[in-house]
Amino acid sequence: MTWLPVLPVVVPLAMAVFMALTTRFGSEHRVKGIIGGLLHATVSTLLFATVAHQGTIETRLGSFPRPFTIFFEATPASAGLVALMSWVVTAALVVATATMDRPRLRRGFHSIAQVVLAAASGALLSGDLFNLFVWFELMLTASFVLVTLGSTPAQLASGFKYLLISLMASVFFLCACGLAYGWYGNLDLAKIAELQSSFSGPGPNMIGGLALVALAIKSAMFPMYAWLPDAYTAPPPGIAALLAAVSTKVAAFALLRIGTALFPPAGGLWFDILVWAGAATTIAGALAAIAINDVRRRLAFLLASQMGTVLVAIGLQSASVVVLLIAHEMVAMAGLFFAVAALGRTGSSPVARLAVGGGFLVCALAVAGIPPTSGFVAKFAFVQAGLLAENPLAVGAVLLSSLLSLFALLQAWQSTAHESEKSGAKLGWTVPAVCAATAALTLAGGLLAGPAVSGLKETVQGEVLR
């Protein structure tokens, strides 16, 4: 079964090629795109089921010995995140297909979305530093295409800033890769982690610092998150939902793994810095969100704020909390963006309105960490870890930010609930159904959290998360 971890990368790439080959003038690839999402969801769920059943699968590409080869590593955490992401992205594809205009679909939305899926899966599964860089490059390029798809002035402006800042991150990332190879002699994250403890000096510190800056930009750390709110509001809501579910989350997971490998263990300098930078991000994002009236922009800032919480958790070195937070935010933030995409377009059907408004409310409560949602479980885990690490200030900062988020989100919900009563053009049942399903998933994530938590505990205790 060692070929399984490669499938989440290969299948969407093949799908993208297939779409490109079958393109006629004006092809929208609606059905193919969603089938592609479902295929990816199927293989990644299969992967997750296998990993959950048999334990970590390690795939050495070309069967060359480690640490000289690229290898994919499907742990319960990484495979779980891939599976969850693929379902959320599939939902986003449905929403995007239903809400987006035809010209954008004709410009290749669905093929690019498949590329995003492939890149994100690769970035979650790969255990090789340079290979991770490649997947991040691919994700950046594809995300840039999605942000500018449609070429409106707002999209071009935000796309340009996104590209510029992200390319700087790439430069730092590449430098880190090169220097890490120079210092450790290979790019295998696990091997690097082993070698880590035997060296001292400024080399490892600076390599870790470069990787930190690169991934901090990509996971929206204050004050370098400026690209995010524009990039997530200029494109249509369907695209924003897709990006919200993927890019920052993948970057945070990579930061967890790379940080655990590259950051020198002695002193935990970068981890301490992450705690404070994350605390600043989570509060700054939530504060900025309060000042903004536009719902989508407010959500974008809240997303940055949420990422701050994840950064704090990475800084506290509690891997299971990080994974819980990422998984929860993937679903809950996407759910909010889905509901916004459907806003004012639900028609007069009370059920559709309830699905959209209720979906927004449930996801909003999840983001604010109100039980019994997935957000509560994640926050609960965070508070336990933070107090166990004897870092009450970090806990306080995150709790304060979740209070500010609650305020921002309740107001946003009220305005959307108010708006959805002015029934606009009808959307059909798909988008409300997706909203309801996402909300249900968020609730299930809270109510059925037991297995997830115990699975992650195994992950952390084993050799899996590095």
164 binds other proteins (CB under 8 A): yes
Give the number of residues in contact with other proteins, rule: CB under 8 A.
127
Residue 240 identity (one-letter amino acid): A
Cα atoms in the Cβ-side hemisphere of radius 13 Å centred on 343: 23
Interaction mask 253-282, other proteins, x per CB under 8 A: -----------x--x-x---x---------
Query: Pick from 457, 461, 462, 463: which binds other proteins (CB under 8 A)?
Result: 457
387 binds other proteins (CB under 8 A): yes
Query: Pick from 388, 393, 440, 461: which binds other proteins (CB under 8 A)?
Result: 388
Query: Pick from 82, 83, 213, 261: which binds other proteins (CB under 8 A)?
Result: 213
Query: Pick from 50, 371, 437, 444: which binds other proteins (CB under 8 A)?
Result: 371
* Separation of alpha carbons 204 and 207, rounded Å: 5
Alpha helices by DSSP H, listed for 264-388, are 269-290, 295-315, 319-342, 350-367, 374-388
112 binds other proteins (CB under 8 A): yes
**Under DSSP, is residue 31 helix (H, G, I), strand (E, B) or coil?**
helix
Tell me how far, at minimum, the Cβ of 274 lies from other proteins, in Å. Answer: 11
Tell me how far, at minimum, the Cβ of 203 lies from other proteins, in Å. Answer: 4
Q: Helices 430-447 & 449-461, crossing angle to 10 degrees? A: 60
Interaction mask 65-104, other proteins, x per CB under 8 A: --xxxx------------------------------x-xx
153 binds other proteins (CB under 8 A): yes
Whether the CB-CB separation of 243 and 146 falls below 8 Å is answered with: yes
Interaction mask 429-448, other proteins, x per CB under 8 A: ------------------x-
Query: Pick from 202, 348, 422, 425: which binds other proteins (CB under 8 A)?
Result: 202
Tell me how far, at minimum, the Cβ of 96 lies from other proteins, in Å. Answer: 15
Query: Pick from 76, 150, 375, 432: which binds other proteins (CB under 8 A)?
Result: 150
Nearer to other proteins, 27 or 186 (CB): 186
Residue 466 corresponds to which tokens in the numbers above? 């590095």
238 binds other proteins (CB under 8 A): no
Whether the CB-CB separation of 315 and 272 falls below 8 Å is answered with: yes
410 binds other proteins (CB under 8 A): yes
Interaction mask 27-66, other proteins, x per CB under 8 A: ----------------------------------xx-x--
Query: What are the percentages of helix, strand and coil residues in the chain, rounded to 5?
Result: 75, 0, 20
User: Cα(first)–Cα(last) distance of the chain, in Å?
Assistant: 23
For 85-97, the DSSP string reads: HHHHHHHHHHHHH
Nearer to other proteins, 175 or 433 (CB): 175
Q: Helices 350-367 & 374-388, crossing angle to 10 degrees? A: 0
With contacts defined by CB under 8 A, name the span among 253-261, 328-336, 414-422, 427-435 that binds other proteins: 414-422
What are the φ/ψ torsions at residue 226 (nearest 5 degrees)? -55, -25
Query: Pick from 1, 31, 49, 154: which binds other proteins (CB under 8 A)?
Result: 154
C-alpha 190 chain-centroid distance: 23
Query: Pick from 22, 197, 349, 454: which binds other proteins (CB under 8 A)?
Result: 454
Nearer to other proteins, 384 or 463 (CB): 384
Query: Pick from 93, 138, 215, 252: which binds other proteins (CB under 8 A)?
Result: 138
344 binds other proteins (CB under 8 A): no
**Under DSSP, is residue 72 helix (H, G, I), strand (E, B) or coil?**
strand
404 binds other proteins (CB under 8 A): yes
* DSSP, res 188: B
* Separation of alpha carbons 121 and 85, rounded Å: 9
C-alpha 21 chain-centroid distance: 30
* Separation of alpha carbons 223 and 204, rounded Å: 24
174 binds other proteins (CB under 8 A): no
* Separation of alpha carbons 140 and 14, rounded Å: 19
Nearer to other proteins, 55 or 371 (CB): 371
What are the φ/ψ torsions at residue 205 (nearest 5 degrees)? -60, -45
With contacts defined by CB under 8 A, name the span among 50-58, 180-188, 245-253, 340-348 that binds other proteins: 180-188
